[in-house]
């Protein structure tokens, strides 16, 4: 809800607040060098503090889990506050009054939705425990699935009666109007305008956010003839299916003891694991694990165990999860893949074996690196040179989505061992093809705006990142960019971010990097934090030359920008020999798609080069 509070006030509160004193009030910090250090509250970094807080830059960064941000994002991540609540807390500390804008009403509109969802959850829970009609459901839970009343209460499991209006009638009697019920996704309207309950004759699993508020529901049919088997609340102002994990709030109840989290496929799997003293399981809401889920989990633990059925569908889901994990996995994280016997899920397996036996299975699960190489080897085979090359190509397409880290280097070495190709050759292949592949990825991302923010992949070693680092350290460099248009045409995430940052500093010339973080998405802010913490700052006297050199090299490496520019220089008769060679190379790389005019130009350039050699 950034729009509900004026942006200049947001910048003022970031500038006014002291991040060191704020974080020190929640966890002890110790000054070491120019920064303050402490045990990271978002991951298990043992006895060696990896969580740094910069008083000068007013941001924090963990070198293990890569959590990063400013005073606002710390309160959001550590205290579970949303944006507006974080601003309110900081304003209260600073003795300032928040100047709400009219959009504040949109924020307030969510409170009635939370209240009606809580009332609905209470109704479902009461229906399960007290009504005679729910006896078969209670028997199903206790006898068939071996779930105790204590576990049902922990997860607020309930039952939606087999009625078109039992819930809506109860809510109406409690004073809730039709509009708020519709907004909460509890009811729908038929063709005649009549209202009916969405969930009927279903076992109900309330879905809670990090703070424990009910945001939606999942419902399982009790009549096997009904469809669909599982039904979720649709998207509402407080619920998006792709951003929530069932059981996440319940797992956080023992956060100090939480070191790993299981990701399972069904609500009942998470519940059954808790019943069996394994209180660290979450479930996706009937969709594939996405990058948002993984980032959310890695803020809490550094070990994730994906748990799948051993059949083809389960292995396909596991491979999809691996591809979504790679862009956010780094040093200090441990990702495992546990494949259960075919036809079994965690719930059914725990009915047959103890939790200790299940944990033993987990210890035998495959590490990400092991599963990565195993899967690629099986998919391609390594019996011929051609297949080995194909394996390397597929592997590099995936590895290039990873941030620079030790685990990435180890995976490259593993690919080298399996294929017999030298690591240097693999890396060369990677760099040669990364630009084209990343443009293809970016194009795919742009075609699906709903996942745009989740799908961006940043590469720390590229020219765009180098220019971005210089700009972050010296915001005044934004005035050196004459035009952003040619940069906007380059489909690379770090260059897109460079444009975004340049615009911010151009419009807010006195702002700092800490204030910049407030305006960025979480993945962009995290990448900026990585650059600030891992890049050696330039000397101010060299910054301008370094920045302009980076921009020139970006331009030269981009044919869509550079070819027209070189043609213009050619038309003026000012093309140097080096520039002629550069133009020739750009055209050769796009030989198959050249128009007739460009083919003639290429031929003329080749003749000139040949003539100059003869002379």
Domain boundaries, the chain: 2-104, 110-236, 371-455, 463-557, 559-614
Per-residue model confidence (pLDDT) at position 217: 97
pTM confidence score? 0.59
The pLDDT tens digits for 258-269 are 889 999 999 999
* pLDDT value for 537: 67
| Alpha-carbon span 57 to 513, nearest angstrom | 7
Check pLDDT > 80 for residue 114.
Answer: yes
Confidence grade of residue 454 (pLDDT, cut at 50, 70, 90): very low
Burial environment of residue 311 by CB neighbours within 10 A (0 to 12, 13 to 18, 19 or more):
middle
Least confident window among 66-75, 239-248, 332-341: 66-75
Per residue in 545-603, pLDDT (tens digit) is 888 888 887 877 666 666 777 777 787 877 777 677 767 766 666 666 667 777 777 77
Q: Residue range 200-216: average pLDDT?
A: 94
pLDDT of residue 484: 77
Structure tokens at 427: 């890396």
- Nearest of 484, 455, 471, 490 to residue 531 by alpha carbon: 471
Class of domain 2-104: alpha beta
Question: What confidence score (pLDDT) does residue 464 get?
Answer: 82
Residue 615 has a pLDDT of 44
Report which secondary-structure segment, H or E, holds 517. helix 513-519
Bigger pLDDT: 205 or 398? 205
Please give the share of the chain, as a percent, with pLDDT higher than 70: 84
| pLDDT for residue 441 | 39
- Please say if the pLDDT value at position 234 is more than 60: yes
Mean confidence (pLDDT) of the chain:
81
b/e string for 263-282 if b means 16 or more Cβ within 10 A? bbbbbbbbbbbbbbebbbbb
In the predicted structure, residue 302 carries a pLDDT above the cut 60: yes
Chain segment 469-478, per-residue pLDDT in tens: 888 888 888 8
**Residue 141 DSSP class:** I
Q: What element of type H or E holds 548?
A: helix 540-557
Of the pLDDT bands very low, low, confident and very high (cuts 50, 70, 90), residue 87 is: confident
Q: Where is pLDDT greater, at 123 or 76?
A: 123
Q: What is the pLDDT of residue 597?
A: 75
Q: Which helix (H) or strand (E) holds 31?
A: strand 30-32
The rounded distance, in Å, linking the Cα atoms of 458 and 474 is 21
pLDDT band at 436 (very low <50, low <70, confident <90, very high): very low
Find how far residue 159's CA is from the centre of its chain. Answer: 33
Give Rg (Cα) of the chain: 28
- 125-184 pLDDT, tens digit per residue, is 999 998 888 999 999 999 999 999 999 999 999 999 999 999 999 999 999 999 999 999
**Mapping DSSP to helix (H, G, I), strand (E, B) and coil, where does residue 281 land?**
strand
pLDDT at 1: 39
Quickly count: other Cβ atoms within 10 Å of residue 335's Cβ. Answer: 27
CATH 1.10.860.10 assigned to 463-557: yes
Going by the DSSP 8-state scheme, the letter that residue 451 receives in this structure is: G
- CATH code at 110-236: 3.90.980.10
- Tell me which long-range contacts 543-552 makes (C-beta under 8 A, separation of at least 24): 543/470, 543/473, 543/474, 543/477, 544/477, 544/480, 546/466, 546/470, 547/467, 547/470, 547/471, 547/474, 547/477, 547/480, 548/480, 550/463, 550/466, 550/467, 550/470, 551/467, 551/481
User: What residues does 307 pair with on adjacent strands?
Assistant: 338
Least confident of 295-304, 316-325, 404-413, 446-455: 446-455
């Amino acid at each position: 809800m950034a729009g509900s509070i004026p942006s200049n006030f947001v910048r003022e509160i970031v500038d006014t607040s002291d991040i060191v004193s704020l974080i020190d009030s929640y966890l002890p910090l110790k000054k070491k060098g120019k920064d303050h250090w402490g045990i990271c509250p978002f991951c298990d970094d043992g006895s060696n503090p990896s969580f740094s807080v910069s008083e000068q830059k007013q941001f924090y960064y963990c070198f293990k889990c890569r959590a990063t941000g400013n005073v606002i994002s710390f309160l959001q991540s550590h205290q579970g506050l949303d944006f507006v609540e974080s601003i309110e807390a900081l304003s209260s500390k600073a003795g300032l009054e928040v100047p709400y804008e009219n959009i504040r009403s949109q924020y307030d509109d969510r409170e009635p939705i939370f209240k009606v969802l809580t009332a609905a959850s209470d109704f479902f829970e009461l229906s399960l425990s007290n009504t005679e009609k729910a006896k078969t459901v209670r028997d199903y839970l206790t006898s068939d699935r071996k779930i105790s009343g204590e576990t049902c209460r922990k997860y607020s499991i309930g039952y939606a009666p087999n009625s078109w209006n039992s819930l809506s009638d109860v809510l109406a009697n409690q004073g809730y109007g039709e509009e708020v019920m519709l907004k909460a996704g509890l009811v729908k309207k038929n063709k005649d305008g009549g209202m009916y309950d969405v969930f009927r004759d279903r076992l109900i699993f309330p879905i809670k956010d990090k703070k424990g508020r009910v945001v939606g529901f999942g419902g399982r049919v009790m009549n096997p003839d009904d469809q669909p088997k599982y039904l979720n609340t649709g998207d509402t102002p407080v619920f998006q299916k792709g951003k929530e994990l069932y059981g996440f709030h319940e797992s956080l109840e023992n956060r100090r003891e939480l070191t790993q989290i299981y990701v399972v496929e069904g609500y009942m799997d998470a519940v059954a694991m808790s019943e069996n003293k394994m209180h660290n399981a979450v479930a996706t809401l009937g969709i594939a694990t996405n990058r948002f889920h993984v980032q959310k989990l890695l803020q809490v633990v550094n070990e994730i165990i994906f748990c799948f059925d051993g059949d083809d569908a389960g292995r396909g889901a596991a491979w999809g999860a691996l591809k979504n994990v790679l862009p956010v996995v780094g040093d200090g994280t441990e990702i495992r893949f546990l494949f259960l016997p075919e036809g079994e899920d965690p719930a059914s397996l725990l009915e047959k074996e103890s939790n200790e036996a299940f944990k033993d299975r987990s210890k035998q699960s495959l590490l990400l690196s092991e599963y990565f190489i195993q899967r690629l080897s099986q998919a391609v085979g390594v019996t011929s040179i051609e297949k080995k090359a194909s394996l390397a190509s597929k592997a590099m397409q995936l590895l290039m989505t990873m941030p620079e880290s030790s685990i990435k280097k180890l995976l490259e070495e593993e690919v080298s061992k399996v294929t017999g190709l030298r690591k240097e050759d693999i890396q060369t292949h990677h760099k040669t093809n990364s630009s084209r592949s990343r443009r293809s990825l970016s194009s795919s991302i742009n075609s699906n705006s709903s996942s745009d923010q989740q799908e961006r992949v940043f590469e720390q070693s590229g020219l765009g990142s180098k220019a971005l680092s210089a700009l972050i350290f010296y915001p005044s460099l934004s005035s050196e960019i004459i035009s952003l248009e040619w940069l906007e045409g380059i489909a690379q995430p770090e260059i897109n971010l460079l444009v975004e940052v340049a615009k911010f500093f151009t419009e807010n010339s006195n702002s700092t990097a800490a204030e910049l973080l407030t305006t960025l998405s979480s993945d962009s802010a995290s990448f900026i934090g990585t650059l600030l913490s891992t890049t050696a700052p330039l000397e101010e006297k060299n910054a301008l030359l370094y920045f302009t050199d980076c921009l020139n090299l970006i331009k030269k490496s981009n044919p869509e920008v550079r070819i027209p520019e070189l043609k213009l220089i050619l038309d003026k008769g000012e093309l140097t020999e080096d520039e002629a060679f550069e133009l020739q190379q750009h055209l050769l790389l796009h030989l198959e798609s050249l128009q007739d005019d460009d083919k003639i130009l290429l031929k003329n350039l080749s003749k000139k080069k040949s003539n100059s050699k003869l002379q």
